[in-house]
Structure 1
Amino acid sequence: MRMALVGLGKMGGNMARRLRRGGIEVVGYNRTPAITAALAEEIGLLPAASLAEAVAALQPPRVVWLMIPAGEATEQTLQDLLALLEAGDVVVDGGNANYHDTLRRAALLRGHDLEFVDAGTSGGVWGLENGYCLMVGGTPAAVDQVKPALRVLAPAPDRGWAHVGPVGAGHFTKMVHNGIEYGMMQALAEGLALLDNKSEFGLDLAQVTELWRHSSVVRSWLLDLTAGALAQDTGLQSIAPVVSDSGEGRWTAIEAIEQGVPAPVMTLALHSRFASQGGADYANRLLAVMRNAFGGHTVQKTDDAAR
């Protein structure tokens, strides 16, 4: 199989490496030519200097897999592909797109007799070594066209990937997956913070997390990664207490509201991230002012105000 891979960043680059290891011919295109050239030398990727050149290197029916940021970058690339592809070609979006956008894009491509496959992709920087979990939406015919690549990218040909439903189902499943991830991370972080705060017990969190990895009910890959990090630096003093959110946690919370399905754990985990980004600062200042106003409680001043 020969396919084009557009977007060769951290995840896309490692996917190209895994595809080449599995015998898939990869035509690669990236906005930064040096990245494409480096991968061509490293793994035998076929470099393309433009999107048009990448498409021209394929035989119909073509498969073009996008690993680019959700939003405007994806929109523009799809518009450009409309003028380059032919009926029966397949576009795969492996990015973290909002499934509403996926449904709209699929309808756009369908109007040009093009197939659209949404591949929710999990595995991060470890995907090259461990394989990627792929949640795939699309028609059976379109998924069959990309199946050789799916079987190589997954942990094994018969597991770690699934055709979960029609177009949109892949990105929807990945969205909820990320919402669950938020909740799991938050629970681990809060529990370990409680242990750390119990100073009289002198608990070694590296020891505890390593202990939990073996036959505990809470064992997981997230716990494995946490234990590894704490083994290197238990105090984490060099880490700023700021946690960003990629967008999928927000989409999951919004979806829960729109469906009327209670999802308090995932939603609160998202709000905790907002708080870490300073989103709670003004509200907390107001709370301090209120306590002072009705009870005369002391208001702590910031260092800047004190000066």
Structure 2
Amino acid sequence: MQKAQIGLIGLGVMGANLALNIAEKGFRIAVYNRTSEKTDAFVAEAGELAENIIGCSSLEELANAIEKPRPIILMVQAGEAVDQQIEALKDIIDADDIIIDAGNANFRDTRRRMEALRDSGPRFIGMGVSGGEEGARHGPSIMVGGPREAYDHIKPVLQAIAARYKGEACEAWLGSDGAGHFVKTIHNGIEYADMQMIAEIYGIMRDGAGMAPAEIGKIFERWNKGRLNSYLIEITAKVLGVTDDKTGKPIVDIIVDRAGQKGTGRWSAIESQSLGIPATAIEAAVAARSLSAMKDLRIKAEERFKIETGSIETLDDARIAMLEDALLAGKVIAYAQGFAVMTAASEEFGWDLPLAEVARIWRAGCIIRSQFLDEIASAYEAETEKTDLLMTDAFSDLISRTQGALRKTVAESAVAGLPVPALASALGHFDQFRLGRGTANLIQAQRDFFGAHSFERFDAPGAHHGNWS
């Protein structure tokens, strides 16, 4: 029997769709699932693609079914399950084989696993995959970290299965050890901020202007044809136009306002703090999800405070354009924060992340794909040194044009009692970012007063103390 070119462990929704994608692109793939019935059902339901799929009932059978050196993708739950799978494979496969963790792993776990396998093998790759079920099946964005030679071996498969933007495959090797999973983590952090800002604009229209979901959806649909063109804006328009089969009401109105999270957004906020890089829009979005989960407490707080939400002025074309610009400004600031975190991590961990390449592979397949990622790629290509996205010519001009709309939107929302934490955090970041002289001098004076931490002076070098006594 002809052997497979690659293997895959874990036939959940993402694993199954990725396996079908690989088989459809003409590669023979061996698959294994802990529950053999699931493997059998997967092969039986694969239709014509089954001829490129080898179903295996054990890890030994899987290893024997793949050409050496064997690349094996893990699509299992992040955490302990990955460690268990690596341990199980170590005694079965060879030192030059390749284990590819394609789950949403914490990049620190990826670095630890790679270090543990460095001397004894097999080779290890941490691979971020974005695009959800649809992306896995028809073309995701793929972010790879690990040994370059291991990536080169699997590159033909990755190029074939990745999403495409104007003919270019949205996949890339981004650096050693955990680089791929770190970039995926920041992708998800930006995704959190993007979704939260969209929800805040929706809240202004719903609660401030009293608009119906379908009416709001038409505005998002129009925005998707302009500068805000993106996957998240597109699906927002669609979601707001759907009617619930059971009640006949807009489906968004019968969904409980309690958002879930799986950890990657939280990791992005933690890592930004660890690196000392402000990512306030991402942090606000993570906090907003956590607060959304406190539904019972929020109901009690509403009864306790009894503060009426105010209305805003009628949303004529000019004011709708203002909200469009406000959302664009907020999104750009969130992206800038995410790229700043990646820049710092690249220096900290020695990855030399190609930021223009990151923007390019996010242009299709992934959840945050949007029109201006092309502009981000061009902006970073034009810079001789890595700089903050807001300081590039294209985006400094854009923010200069739209910051007034963001400022007015946040101000009016605050007066009306409409929560816009991510948009407000983005504005706060920009306002502090653009001032050459801020207020931290007072903080330094306080620190020196209570802890003798010292401060710098404008008129003399070195560390100084105040005559507080």
TM-score category, normalised to shorter length: 0.7 to 0.9
Question: In structure 1, what is the Cα distance between the partners aligned to 2:198 and 2:274?
Answer: 28
The match for 1:297 is none
Is the aligned partner of 1:35 residue 2:70? no
The match for 1:124 is 132
The match for 1:173 is 183
Question: In structure 2, what is the Cα distance between the partners aligned to 1:210 and 1:240?
Answer: 24
1:98 to 106, 115, 120: 106
Q: Kindly provide the CA deviation profile for residues 111-151 of structure 1, in whole angstroms up to 9, marking residues without a partner as x.
A: 21321111100010211554110000112210011112201
Runs of 4 or more above 6 Å deviation = none
Deviation at 1:62, TM superposition (A): 0.6
Question: In structure 2, what is the Cα distance between the partners aligned to 1:65 and 1:15?
Answer: 10
- Show the 5 A alignment for 1:111-150: 111-128=119-136, 130-150=138-158
Q: Indicate if the aligned counterparts of 1:6 and 1:65 stay in contact, CA closer than 8 A.
A: yes
Is the aligned partner of 1:24 residue 2:23? no
Secondary structure at the counterpart of residue 113 of structure 1: coil
Secondary structure at the counterpart of residue 237 of structure 1: helix
The match for 1:302 is none
Q: Indicate if the aligned counterparts of 2:98 and 2:150 stay in contact, CA closer than 8 A.
A: yes
Determine which structure has more spread, i.e. the larger CA radius of gyration: 2
Q: Indicate if the aligned counterparts of 1:133 and 1:154 stay in contact, CA closer than 8 A.
A: yes
Q: Indicate if the aligned counterparts of 1:28 and 1:48 stay in contact, CA closer than 8 A.
A: yes
Closer, same or farther: CA 202–244 of 1 in aligned 2, 3 Å = closer
Q: Which has the higher contact order (CA 8 A, sep 6+)?
A: 2
Q: Kindly provide the CA deviation profile for residues 170-217 of structure 1, in whole angstroms up to 9, marking residues without a partner as x.
A: 0000000000000000000000111112346668112111111112x2
- Show the 5 A alignment for 1:147-226: 147-156=155-164, 158-199=168-209, 204-215=215-226, 217-226=227-236
Question: In structure 2, what is the Cα distance between the partners aligned to 1:174 and 1:200?
Answer: 37
Question: In structure 2, what is the Cα distance between the partners aligned to 1:236 and 1:96?
Answer: 28
Unmatched tracts of structure 2, length 5 or more? 244-249, 308-469
Deviation at 1:80, TM superposition (A): 0.6
Name the stretch that deviates more: 179-188 or 279-288: 279-288
Secondary structure at the counterpart of residue 232 of structure 1: coil
Name the stretch that deviates more: 165-174 or 30-39: 30-39
Secondary structure at the counterpart of residue 58 of structure 1: coil
The match for 1:236 is 252
TM-score norm. by structure 2 comes to 0.58
| Aligned residue pairs, count | 289
Question: In structure 1, what is the Cα distance between the partners aligned to 2:117 and 2:173?
Answer: 20
Question: In structure 2, what is the Cα distance between the partners aligned to 1:286 and 1:201?
Answer: 22
Question: In structure 2, what is the Cα distance between the partners aligned to 1:239 and 1:280?
Answer: 15
1:274 to 286, 290, 293: 290
Q: Kindly provide the CA deviation profile for residues 252-295 of structure 1, in whole angstroms up to 9, marking residues without a partner as x.
A: 11111111111110011001111111189389759949x9xxxx
Secondary structure at the counterpart of residue 66 of structure 2: coil
The match for 1:55 is 63
Closer, same or farther: CA 280–165 of 1 in aligned 2, 3 Å = farther
Deviation at 1:50, TM superposition (A): 1.7
Deviation at 1:153, TM superposition (A): 1.7
